[in-house]
Amino acid sequence: MSIQRPVEAKDRIILALDVDTIEDVIKYVDLLKDYVGFFKVGLPLMISCGFESIQIIKEHGGKVYFDGKFQDIPNTIAQASTNLMAKGIDFFNISATGGSKMLTNTISACNSYAKKNDIEPPVILAVTLLSSFGQKTLTNELCVEMNISKYVLQLSRMAKEAGLSGVIAPDTDAAQIKQELGEDFIVVCPAVRPTWAIVNDQIRIVSPTDAIKAGADYIIIGRPITHAADPIAAAKLVIAEIEDALKMKEE
């Protein structure tokens, strides 16, 4: 299965629901479902509200991207991923640093489950490197001497060879990933911040314009919209910026 290619600018937005209550989930889904493509459910919301949060998003007309960053021994992640398929999630991710065996086992298990249950296989993306990591963290703490962009590309290549649909990667690497691995290999850009928004806790941040121009298919954005005084107005600003970036790419 592949994610349906975005038709409108809004379809490219994955809104991070960094909230802790079902009431807030309902609030933002009802408010913004016509202005974004997907709602991202991460670990904080999952721990607070469990799979009810996913059910609520689906019931209120939203699509779900589950950001669990699965990483464990191959059999554990394969089983977790097949269990996840029954929850109505539109796509999810696993960590590329779990290694090729974890990735291939997961794809194989999900494909087998899909065939057995006569459903489409899920869209699975690989997380390359957390947006809070820079070269210093990679080299000094993880003891990886490779340049950070080359490291992201290596993880992306491994993900594609394992059969995954795409990766979560920064805009600085999107163009090279597309060139090396093909236009159909999905790139989702995290840590997106419009120029008018506060940076918060991420190091490798990017604007919607730069992400789209670099080749990202989807962008992940949260607080600049959800924490805005007027979330709909903020979402419309992001949509307009994406539309302008798409026009610039065509010129």
Active-site positions? 69
CA-to-CA distance for 44 and 74, rounded, in angstroms? 24
User: What Å distances lie between residue 168 and 89, 146, 193, 232, CA to CA?
Assistant: 17, 19, 16, 26
- Looking at residue 20, the DSSP 8-state letter turns out to be S
Strand, helix or coil for residue 124: strand
Say which residue the tokens 């790419």 belong to: 249
Strand partners, 221: 15
Strand partners, 167: 126, 187
**Amino acid (1-letter code) at residue 149:** S
By CB atoms closer than 10 A (0-12, 13-18, 19+), residue 48 is middle
**Amino acid (1-letter code) at residue 11:** D
Q: Which helix (H) or strand (E) holds 89?
A: none
- Residues 170 and 152: beta-carbon distance below 8 Å: yes
Cα dihedral value 109, 110, 115, 120, nearest 10: -170
User: How wide is the angle at C-alpha 132 spanned by C-alphas 126 and 136, nearest 5°?
Assistant: 105
